[in-house]
């Protein structure tokens, strides 16, 4: 991995790391802090990677763990954790689909936001990011069976909503 400098990894993956951190934190204000922490970890960890293809998966794991740690620190410091509603469904455009389509999309967004983190994260990584179940399990620190169960529960919750 010595041929891939941290600066190159940052240019290539910083947006992905930021998007992953946002999916865990749901708060834009803290994403930059997590991205910095991830790439500080990369300074040490990149030399241990043997395969450049494993870099994205490794960054996913490091991002999820750093974001979870950051979130715990916020809670321990009694800083209120608030959802960043910049992406609120009330801001969605009403073009081409009419009001009914807008409401359907708003309900779907609300259902996804209402999922507990332990369901939302595996569902997002698998269903939106397209990660394979074993990679999601590794990123979330649980078994493939647990990930399958959580994704199924998330899908059922979203379908009901």
Residue the block writes with tokens 């569902």: 123
Query: Considering only the top CATH level, what class is 99-160?
Result: mainly alpha
pLDDT for 121: 84
The string of DSSP letters for 45-75 reads: HGGG---GGGHHHHHHHHHHHHHHHHHHHHH
The answer on pLDDT for 150 being more than 90 is: yes
Decide: 5 and 11 in contact? Cβ < 8 Å: no
C-alpha closest to that of 111 among 141, 137, 84, 89: 89
> Using CA atoms, how far apart are residues 25 and 121, in angstroms rounded to an integer?
10
- Per the CB < 8 A criterion, the answer to whether 154 and 114 are in contact is no
23-27, 144-148, 150-154: least confidently modelled range: 23-27
Statement: residue 16 has pLDDT above 50: yes
pTM (2 d.p.): 0.61
pLDDT tens track for 17-56 = 999 888 888 888 899 999 999 998 888 777 777 777 778 8
* Least confident interval from 82-91, 101-110, 115-124: 82-91
Indicate the range of 1-10, 13-22, 133-142 predicted with least confidence: 1-10
Dist. CA 21–CA 125, nearest whole Å:
12
Structurally, what CATH architecture does the domain formed by 6-76 represent?
Answer: Orthogonal Bundle (1.10)
Domain boundaries, the chain: 6-76, 99-160
């Amino acid at each position: 991995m010595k041929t891939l400098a941290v600066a190159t990894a940052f240019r290539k993956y910083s947006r992905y790391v930021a998007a992953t951190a946002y999916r865990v934190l749901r708060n834009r204000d803290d994403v930059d802090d997590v991205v910095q922490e991830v790439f500080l970890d990369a300074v040490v960890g990149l030399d241990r990677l043997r395969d450049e293809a494993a870099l994205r998966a490794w960054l996913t794991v490091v991002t999820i763990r750093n974001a979870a740690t950051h979130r715990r620190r916020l809670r321990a410091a009694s800083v209120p954790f608030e959802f960043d509603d910049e992406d609120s469904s009330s801001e969605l455009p009403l073009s081409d689909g009419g009001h009914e389509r807008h409401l359907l999309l708003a309900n779907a967004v609300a259902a996804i936001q209402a999922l507990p983190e332990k369901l939302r994260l595996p569902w997002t990584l698998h269903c939106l990011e397209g990660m394979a179940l074993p990679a999601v399990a590794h990123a979330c620190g649980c078994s493939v069976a647990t990930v399958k169960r959580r994704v199924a529960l998330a899908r059922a919750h979203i379908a009901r909503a």
